[in-house]
Structure 1
Amino acid sequence: MRVRTWARGTSPGPPPSPRDLTQQLLDALREAGQDRGCWAWWGKSQPPRTCGGAARRQLHETAVHTYDAQLTVGAPQPLPEEVALDSWLSGDGARVARLPSFGTMPAVPTTDEDTDAADATARGMASELVLAFYGRIPLDSLKLGGNRRLFDQLVDWDPEP
């Protein structure tokens, strides 16, 4: 890849632009097909280790880092609704994270009707939920209910110890 060659100092000229790198990634993912297995930087318990999973994860990461850049210049915007909803699994924009009993993970997004069975709930727009669980906004900016320790445990949770 041109970036590695440039980083080693064996490629003349400036490094590839972010736009060129993004296009290279998109081209490679399209050529491979969404169901093809691929190396991934996340554990087995997270999204599938496929080209489609990598593309989705990159989209979510890009959205969150775009928020970071917007925050840096003092103009943060919510994540695009479709991206935030996809990141939070699915829903209508107002979601509830249902956390089962202490010691069991992960959180399971649910509908409002299921909240009676939850030990803790976090309510917010999909963008707020994603940004809170990526550590970009405080958890307290969500409407939290139930056992707060479960949220601290979820934030600290390592799915692949």
Structure 2
Amino acid sequence: MEIARLVEGLHERTAGLAEAVAGADPTMLVPTCPEWPLRVLVGHIGQAHRWAASIVRSGPTPVPDPFDADPGSPADWPDWLRSGAEDLADAVLAAGEGPVWTFFGPAPATFWLRRMLHDTTVHHADAALATGTAFEVAPDLAADAITEWLELVSDPIATTIKPAFAELRGTGQTLRLHPDTGAGWLITRTPDGLRWAHAADAADATLAGPVRDLLLVLTRRLPAGRVTITGDRDLVDHWLTHTAA
């Protein structure tokens, strides 16, 4: 995805989050982020954007605690969120092609732009589900969020960050994600870890539906029943259990 689209998407999803929380009770609990009040969810996003910007500019710093974030008065949340997104976009654009630190080794600064875009997308869904507001995401952004997630979870380093991912190894079992547009993704569980490709091959289990719903099911923001599941349901349930955040 071109950097201009990533920047546009970050601003779009950040604005969507701000709209979803406008006028809501900041102490409201977010059902899909247990123990997080809405204020912490908002704080996490603005904090994460600024944290990622600081990594791009200056190198790694400890992962901040969302409960330490101070987004200010709810009336100020839109400007505070927008400022954080602008700070990250500016840092990435200024960094050019040079590598920066990531959990997975050196990578272009766009890693953090993409990572924060998709994190913001999923947390916009959290906010919308909590406040009863609409959630939509452009199909290209939803599809790239799924692709990025598969890139992360299949990286050999992923099991050192989240040991539960090691349980996703297998003996050739396959899982297909079939969106309403495009071929989708084919995931293969091997003894050495996950492999995936853009493909429309038959699989042991298939999840089919709108790409937005596939993203929200994969990130456990919607129940699996929101998409059509065929084949080995135990395989699907095992995947969802062991990729939980």
Question: TM-score scaled by structure 2?
Answer: 0.47
SS at match of 2:238: helix
The code of the aligned residue for 1:50 comes to: P
Gaps of 5+ in 1: 8-13
Rounded Cα–Cα distance in structure 2 between residues aligned with 1:98 and 1:111: 6
Report the counterpart of residue 147 of structure 1 in structure 2.
Answer: 232
Report the counterpart of residue 209 of structure 2 in structure 1.
Answer: 124
- 1:136 shift after superposition: 0.3
Q: Which has the higher helix share?
A: 2
After the TM superposition, which residues 1-161 of structure 1 pair with which residues of structure 2 at under 5 Å, given as runs? 17-34=80-97, 36-40=99-103, 44=104, 49-89=107-147, 93=181, 96-100=184-188, 105-106=193-194, 108=196, 110-112=198-200, 114-115=201-202, 118-157=203-242
Report the counterpart of residue 10 of structure 1 in structure 2.
Answer: none
The code of the aligned residue for 2:85 comes to: T
Rounded Cα–Cα distance in structure 2 between residues aligned with 1:103 and 1:127: 30
RMSD value, Cα: 3.6
Q: Between Structure 1 and Structure 2, how many residues are aligned?
A: 143
SS at match of 1:68: helix
SS at match of 2:212: helix
- 1:36 shift after superposition: 1.8
Q: Is the 8 A contact 2:142 2:212 kept in 1?
A: yes
- 1:157 shift after superposition: 3.3
Rounded Cα–Cα distance in structure 2 between residues aligned with 1:136 and 1:83: 17
Show structure 1 runs of 4+ deviating over 6 A: none
The code of the aligned residue for 2:233 comes to: R
Rounded Cα–Cα distance in structure 1 between residues aligned with 2:98 and 2:237: 34
- 1:141 shift after superposition: 1.3
- 1:147 shift after superposition: 1.3
Q: Is the 8 A contact 2:124 2:135 kept in 1?
A: no
Q: Is the 8 A contact 2:189 2:195 kept in 1?
A: no
